[in-house]
Amino acid sequence: MEFENIIKKLDEIDQKYQDSSKSSEKALKDLGEQQLKFAKELEKLSAECLAMQKKNEEYPSGSSHDLSIGEQFVKTANFSKFAADVKSGMHVRETFKTKSATVSTTTTGITDNFLGGVQDMGGIIGIPNRKLVIESLIPHIPVTAGSMSMVKETSFTNNAAVVAEGGSKPESTFEFEKYNVNIETVAHWTKISEQLAADAPAVQAFINTRMQYGLQNKIDQQLVTGSGTSGELAGFLKSGNYHDYSSAITIDTGDTLIDFSAKIQAAIESNNYAPQYLLLNPMDWTKLTLLKDTQKRYILGGPGSASQKTLWGIPVITTSSIPTINTSTTPATPAKYLMADFSLGAAILDRQELVVDIDRTQDDFIKNLLTIRVERRLALAILDAGAIGGGSWDLGS
């Protein structure tokens, strides 16, 4: 019964109470029982509405984008049919929006079936996951072809001037360059048991913790260091994809990497770009935080201020996708950095969002195994290399 009807009934009972001063004791008792009945219904309806409101807050309408890839996968109709009969040989294929997918690190839901019936503690003790941050800094553009032809401005001679009345107007000149960006495939597969495939929570956790993470981890690395050859993405640190502003600055005696950062920032801003982030390897950021003055005081504020990673007003993002110094080479390969306006300088071209496949081969059938594959097709397009400052994170010779 709706709120309005219940409240109306209660109001009618209250009116009867007022009109029943001369009624019998039995009539008053009946009115009291009716009032208690409707009050309980009102309380029940309120509780249901509160529960519904809480559920909507946790999972608003159309909120599948808040679920991890694994959760979305096991909730599909195709997987439900497959899980009901894993021996059917049904091929399950689902595609998911990667921008909205979260890479879960929880292993909740892995059951004893994961080890084929051997009793265990539940869950998987996995290796540590790298923090994935690079892709979230870059705009995404959906595309429909295997390669994209793009045109970028390479030079601009600005001859704009104040012109006297009747005078000739000056001409400015632009130069453009056409180039292609190839879409690449990033994928991997593994074998899983039928027991695992039949356990939806286990599949969900496995996709989230290992398969999806492994794919996104590789993409994070490729966005920085991909060579652009042999099917690799053309990463930010590939020659031509960034601008090394170190040639435009002067290193003075006594300069530290803190001074180096400020001068690089000034050089980038002098070229009309506004860097949004400084990306460093965690080891190189730690070296900065440990710098001290002559009185052994921490220059960046010491342990109490380490929670705020900023340098000269620019947020610092630490990720092991950025190479640190490699002393195993001769001479040692210096550490790298990126200081950039990623939203202006680059875009990720999404040809195919993250796809999860489960299928079996003849060999899988014999061994009660299934093959699970996760893949994406994408490219990194450099729109303006001047907005991507990068190079060696050192003071030079």
The answer to whether residues 18 and 105 belong to one domain is no
The answer to whether residues 299 and 183 belong to one domain is no
| pLDDT confidence of residue 110 | 32
| pLDDT confidence of residue 230 | 87
The answer to whether residues 299 and 258 belong to one domain is yes
Q: Evaluate whether residue 72 is within a structural domain.
A: yes
Q: Evaluate whether residue 167 is within a structural domain.
A: no
Kindly tell me if the per-residue pLDDT of 87 is higher than 80.
Answer: no
Q: Evaluate whether residue 113 is within a structural domain.
A: yes
| pLDDT confidence of residue 95 | 74
Kindly tell me if the per-residue pLDDT of 124 is higher than 90.
Answer: no
Kindly tell me if the per-residue pLDDT of 213 is higher than 60.
Answer: yes
| pLDDT confidence of residue 8 | 66
The answer to whether residues 249 and 296 belong to one domain is yes
The answer to whether residues 83 and 217 belong to one domain is yes
The answer to whether residues 209 and 296 belong to one domain is no
The answer to whether residues 33 and 96 belong to one domain is no
The answer to whether residues 209 and 357 belong to one domain is yes
Kindly tell me if the per-residue pLDDT of 80 is higher than 60.
Answer: yes
How many structural domains compose the chain? 3
Q: Evaluate whether residue 249 is within a structural domain.
A: yes
The answer to whether residues 41 and 142 belong to one domain is no
Kindly tell me if the per-residue pLDDT of 176 is higher than 90.
Answer: no
The domain that holds 295 is classified in CATH as: 3.30.2320.10
pTM attached to this predicted model: 0.68
Kindly tell me if the per-residue pLDDT of 358 is higher than 60.
Answer: yes
- Please tell me which of 51-55, 284-288, 359-363 the model is most confident about, judged by mean pLDDT: 284-288
Which band of pLDDT confidence, cut at 50, 70 and 90, is reported for residue 5? low
| pLDDT confidence of residue 183 | 94
More confident residue, 182 or 107: 182
Taking residues 61-71, what's their average pLDDT?
A: 61
Q: Evaluate whether residue 358 is within a structural domain.
A: yes
| pLDDT confidence of residue 123 | 46
The answer to whether residues 114 and 249 belong to one domain is no
The answer to whether residues 72 and 218 belong to one domain is yes
Q: Evaluate whether residue 238 is within a structural domain.
A: no
The answer to whether residues 53 and 76 belong to one domain is no
Kindly tell me if the per-residue pLDDT of 118 is higher than 60.
Answer: no
pLDDT digits (tens, 9 = 90+) for 308-333: 799 999 999 999 999 999 999 988 99
Question: Which structure tokens are listed for 242?
Answer: 């960034």
Kindly tell me if the per-residue pLDDT of 51 is higher than 80.
Answer: no
pLDDT digits (tens, 9 = 90+) for 223-249: 999 999 988 999 999 999 999 999 999
| pLDDT confidence of residue 397 | 56
Q: Evaluate whether residue 196 is within a structural domain.
A: yes
| pLDDT confidence of residue 148 | 87
Kindly tell me if the per-residue pLDDT of 154 is higher than 50.
Answer: yes
Kindly tell me if the per-residue pLDDT of 104 is higher than 70.
Answer: no
Kindly tell me if the per-residue pLDDT of 373 is higher than 50.
Answer: yes
Q: Evaluate whether residue 160 is within a structural domain.
A: no
Mean pLDDT, the chain, integer: 80
Taking residues 106-126, what's their average pLDDT?
A: 40
Domain of 293, in residue numbers:
245-345+385-392
